[in-house]
Structure 1
Amino acid sequence: MLKRLSSYAFVLMGLILFNSCKKEYESIQSIDEKKLADYFAKNNIAAVKDPKGTGFYYQIVTPGTGELFMNTDSVLYTVTLKSLLNGTTYYTTPASGNLANRVGYTSLLQVAAADPTKSRGPISASLSSISTAIRALKPGGSAKVFLPSYLAFGNNGEASIGVPSNDILEITISTLPGKSQAALDDSRILAFLASKGITNAVKDATGLYYVVTQAGTGTEQIDFTSLLTINYTGRLLDGTVFDSNNAGTFVTNLLRPTAERAGIIPGWQVLTKFRKGTKVRLIIPSIQAYGNNVENNIIWENTPLDFDIEILEVAN
């Protein structure tokens, strides 16, 4: 009889704890809902509730033009995450690049860690609200998503970008008018060249631009397997230096990386056009650089790059 009572007591305690947790969870939902309602009323925002009833809201800021995005469409876009309550910005897509994906795969973001020594990676929440908002837009359109904390980072927050516990997010999504990353990169590079007064850049068939500042005098033909000793400095288009080696110690071939070996970005393969002694500036579109990936916690997705390169030695 004592054992049976102990079992009943254990079950009863479990039910009490479960209901207590359930009430706490429900209270977070109701608290967030009230904060959102107050915010909408105060700011005269006519937000639309997620049609699936998950709990987030969105507002179309500008509808865009053309046809509504479908899940299978490619989309170029930017995102800003900030606190609805205090306006703190936690993440914004840098102006030097943009995000790009199929609409159905836009739920994950890659963000810079608060600690720059840590690598960037997908944040630990599935922000399906982003793809929902994009599907309500046409190219060039923008929207805001109002995401309650329990659908964002919850009680744990997200330390990598500084989001505290139970913070409601305002997410601004802006889609770009075009769907071609190559065309967007080209327009960015042309604007960069114009801003620098560079009028003698040559466009390669791959889409990159180069300016020879010193012609080489070497006789060795360069191919992908040649060993090149080079000096180089790599910059973003805003002038930020992300890598350099000007000590005459960097040696590389022009092969692409594989699982077994390191390699260079595709844009560097244009060096086969030149000879020992050449000094050349390369302005490389993102599709010939790191594409939709991130590198060194500095180079963001779809970012064109600017290199100064000097070919010191060539060995075949």
Structure 2
Amino acid sequence: MRKITTYILALFSVLVIFSSCKKEYETTEDLDNDNIRAYKASHSNLTFTDVDGYSYAITNAGTGAEVKNSDSVYYSYAFKSVNGTVYNQTSDLMIPGSFLGYTDQFAIGNSAYVFKPVREVLARLKRGGAATLLLPSRMAFGKNGLSSFGIGSNETIVVELGLYTYEKKHQVDAYEISTFITRNNLTFTTDAATGIRYNVSSAGTGTDAIGDFSTLVVNYTGRYLDGTVFDSGTGVTFRLDQLIKGWQMILPGKITAGGKIRIVIPSHLAYGARPLDFDIEVTKVTNE
């Protein structure tokens, strides 16, 4: 009799534990579903489709070519709360590009995430298209949220997605550079041979012309188009032929010692990843 009682108590404990786990999961799912239903109700102008636990609405199907996982795409995203708070988003001055098959991979808050629904929704768009994705917490940041970005526990995430029409990097460079110049009300001359934009604020007074193998002493600041400084130096000595192509192709004939120039370089004449913005002052030129 005692053994039977012990067995029944043990079985009861297992059932209680199982029921608690099941209830906890259902509570999370119910919370996700409630949040998604509320968002849909307050955005009745959008037509959502439910797929494998998430929902999406195509707001612009696009007019360009259809894309598949092996295609290169340039895209945008904005991760938001259901109330519109922006947690993380791309910039049209630094547009991400990848094969479509890798657009579900993100580095957020020094951690790597894979959001499969992002790739699946982008795959439903043509180039130039846009969509809204409702990502339930169990497919996003879960119970822990992401405090460094202000994302709380069990938050449903709204992801605004878009595909640019561009298929080639040089097209994206041209768009980013033009946007940068217009947005900042800058005045540049375009070098026809290279596409480099430049503005000479002082031609300099040195008598030694800058040539391909000149040694230069320079003060410089290098920035991405969003204003982030990635490199700078004061009184640094370089030989011109050892620098990036953008410097080599634009400095000769534009300035000499004492000269100052600002240049915006397309990515293929810089480090290959994105256009760069440099302020350069040449303080000394030596030709041997």
Q: What SS is found at the alignment partner of 1:61?
A: strand
TM-aligned CA deviation for residue 252 of structure 1:
4.6
Q: What SS is found at the alignment partner of 1:94?
A: coil
> 1:1-316 residue pairs with structure 2 within 5 A?
13=13, 16-44=16-44, 45-50=46-51, 53=52, 55-84=53-82, 86-111=83-108, 113=109, 121=110, 123-190=111-178, 192-193=180-181, 195-198=185-188, 200-205=189-194, 207-212=195-200, 213-214=202-203, 217-218=207-208, 221-223=211-213, 228-237=216-225, 240=227, 242=229, 245=232, 247-248=234-235, 250-252=236-238, 267-270=246-249, 273=252, 277=257, 278-289=259-270, 291-292=272-273, 302=274, 304-313=275-284
Change (3 A) 1:74 1:234: same
TM-aligned CA deviation for residue 253 of structure 1:
5.5
Change (3 A) 1:305 1:75: same
TM-aligned CA deviation for residue 164 of structure 1:
1.2
TM-aligned CA deviation for residue 273 of structure 1:
3.8
Deviations 1:184-220 (A, max 9, x none): 212332455564233x331453x43334442553367
Separation in 1, partners of 2:248, 2:6: 75
Deviations 1:17-52 (A, max 9, x none): 3442232012211221122123213321321112xx
Percent identity of equivalent pairs = 32
Change (3 A) 1:11 1:267: farther
Q: TM-score if structure 1 supplies the norm length?
A: 0.74
Conserved? CA contact 1:61–1:144, under 8 Å: yes
TM-aligned CA deviation for residue 7 of structure 1:
9.1
CA RMSD, 1 decimal? 3.5
Q: What SS is found at the alignment partner of 2:56?
A: strand
Conserved? CA contact 2:212–2:248, under 8 Å: no
Separation in 1, partners of 2:130, 2:240: 41
Q: What SS is found at the alignment partner of 1:156?
A: coil
Separation in 2, partners of 1:24, 1:136: 33
Q: What SS is found at the alignment partner of 2:68?
A: coil
Conserved? CA contact 1:124–1:153, under 8 Å: no
TM-aligned CA deviation for residue 142 of structure 1:
0.3
Q: What SS is found at the alignment partner of 2:38?
A: helix
TM-aligned CA deviation for residue 65 of structure 1:
0.6
TM-aligned CA deviation for residue 280 of structure 1:
2.7
Deviations 1:57-92 (A, max 9, x none): 1100011113322111111111100011x3211012
Q: How many residues align?
A: 280
Separation in 2, partners of 1:266, 1:128: 39
Q: What SS is found at the alignment partner of 1:155?
A: coil
Bigger Rg over Cα: 2
Separation in 2, partners of 1:5, 1:311: 90
Task: List gaps (5 residues or longer) in structure 1.
Answer: 114-120, 257-263, 293-301
AA at the equivalent of 2:196: L
Q: What SS is found at the alignment partner of 1:35?
A: helix
Separation in 1, partners of 2:14, 2:58: 45
More divergent stretch after superposition (31-40 vs 134-143): 31-40
AA at the equivalent of 1:92: Q
Conserved? CA contact 2:102–2:119, under 8 Å: yes
Q: What SS is found at the alignment partner of 1:38?
A: helix
TM-aligned CA deviation for residue 281 of structure 1:
2.0
Separation in 1, partners of 2:230, 2:101: 34
AA at the equivalent of 1:72: S
Conserved? CA contact 2:224–2:230, under 8 Å: no
Change (3 A) 1:197 1:271: closer
Separation in 1, partners of 2:32, 2:78: 20
